[in-house]
Amino acid sequence: MATLGLLQCDSLDPPHVDVDGDYDRLFADLLARDDDVDLAVYRAFEGELPSSPGDCDAWIVPGSRRSVYEDVGWITDLRRLVARMLADGTPLVGICFGHQMIAMELGARVERAECGWNVGAVRYDLHDPVPDDGDAALTLIASHQDQVLDLPDGATLLASTPTCPVAGFTVGDDVLCIQAHPEFTAALAGSLYRSRVDRIGAEPIARALDTLSRPLDRERVASWIVDFARDR
């Protein structure tokens, strides 16, 4: 059995946490399709980190309301750990905040997106080599205002959309990064969006809510993550 370590970077507030659970539950549910993968949770945003990168077969760095470039103690500590994992070739999956942190540690720029917030069920174009034999596009929930501006040196572009050109990348067999949230359901996204009208604006939120009936490719990306961990 492969063990995936979740380096949890945030906790959902009420009422959002009451929709589908917190990040640990969201990822457990996402990956539950395969009994060969066990999830070990470390609350990195509270200072809980593994004693060694070898404690798990692969690691997930998920989303957060914070920015990766903030001078915050737990973010600095996690960045050091991620840098160590990258140097050692430790298998890493980055989701949203994690995608940005891994890209930044590989030398890419991470800044506020010129277009503002990316929200809604977004269609992403996939670029060869796609991790499976499926369609050359997928749809996932987006919720971010920071994004990766450059493809890191040595990385291969995996996903893009006009408002987020570097929406996913891989580095060899050891790094898989996605800007969107495969762990988010439409119900959770709707709850989050409705609470952010003052921050994002009524019109962008209305447009985002209108997209939430689109089919999501959550299970497809879950299979990528499971295969990534199991193939170690």
114 is known as an active-site residue? no
> Catalytic one among 16, 99, 144, 181?
181
Q: What is the pLDDT of residues 84-143, one digit of tens each?
A: 999 999 999 999 999 999 999 999 999 999 999 999 999 999 999 999 999 999 999 999
Residues facing 40 on adjacent strands = 5
- Residue type, position 45, single letter: F
What's the length of the chain? 232
Q: Which of 213, 178, 217, 212 is nearest to 194 (CA)?
A: 212
Q: Which pLDDT value is given to residue 119?
A: 98
183 is known as an active-site residue? yes
Q: What is the pLDDT of residues 129-143, one digit of tens each?
A: 999 999 999 999 999
Return all residues near 18 (Cβ < 8 A) that are at least 6 apart. Answer: none
Contact 204, 116 (CB under 8 A): yes
- Residue-range domain boundaries for the chain: 2-230
pLDDT at 35 over 80: no
pLDDT band at 36; cut points 50, 70, 90: confident
Q: Which pLDDT value is given to residue 37?
A: 86
99 is known as an active-site residue? no
d(CA 144, CA 96): 7
pLDDT at 193 over 90: yes
CATH number given to 2-230 = 3.40.50.880
Q: Which of 187, 188, 178 is nearest to 223 (CA)?
A: 178
Instruction: Determine the average pLDDT of the residues in 162-169.
Output: 98
Q: Which pLDDT value is given to residue 107?
A: 97
Phi first, then psi, for residue 81 (nearest 5°) are -65, -45
pLDDT at 34 over 80: no
92: tokens are: 């890493």
Q: Is the pTM of this model over 0.95?
A: yes
Q: Which pLDDT value is given to residue 65?
A: 97
pLDDT at 232 over 80: no
- Residue type, position 210, single letter: D
Q: Which pLDDT value is given to residue 82?
A: 98
d(CA 102, CA 99): 5
The counts of H helices and E strands in the chain are 8, 11
What percent of the chain has a predicted confidence (pLDDT) above 90?
Answer: 94
> Catalytic one among 9, 56, 96, 164?
96
Contact 6, 37 (CB under 8 A): no
> Catalytic one among 16, 99, 177, 183?
183
